Amino acid sequence: LAVAPGTTVAAAIATASAGVTRRSVTGALRAPLCGMGVCQECRVTVDGRAHVLSCQTLCRDGMQVVTAEAVA
């Protein structure tokens, strides 16, 4: 996925899919809510590192992002 410089991972996920970043412990779909890192709903795995806040992480070339639904 190609995005403009300065794009957050959360914005890239929203562009590429329905914006789903993970599932709750009950299986419900979760997506970013606050956009400033407080709610923790945007957590994804980036380059093998779990629980990264996608709303606070800028995209960079070659990064691999794993969400509850897909790899972006």
Helix (H, G, I), strand (E, B) or coil at 46: strand
- For the chain, the structural domain boundaries read 9-66
- pLDDT number for residue 19: 75
For 24-71, how does the pLDDT look when each residue is reduced to its tens digit (9 = 90+)?
788 888 888 888 989 888 889 999 999 999 999 999 999 999 987 544
Residues 6+ apart with CB under 8 A from 2: none
Identify the H or E element spanning 14: helix 9-16
Q: Write phi, then psi, for 21 (nearest 5 degrees).
A: -110, -30
- pLDDT number for residue 68: 73
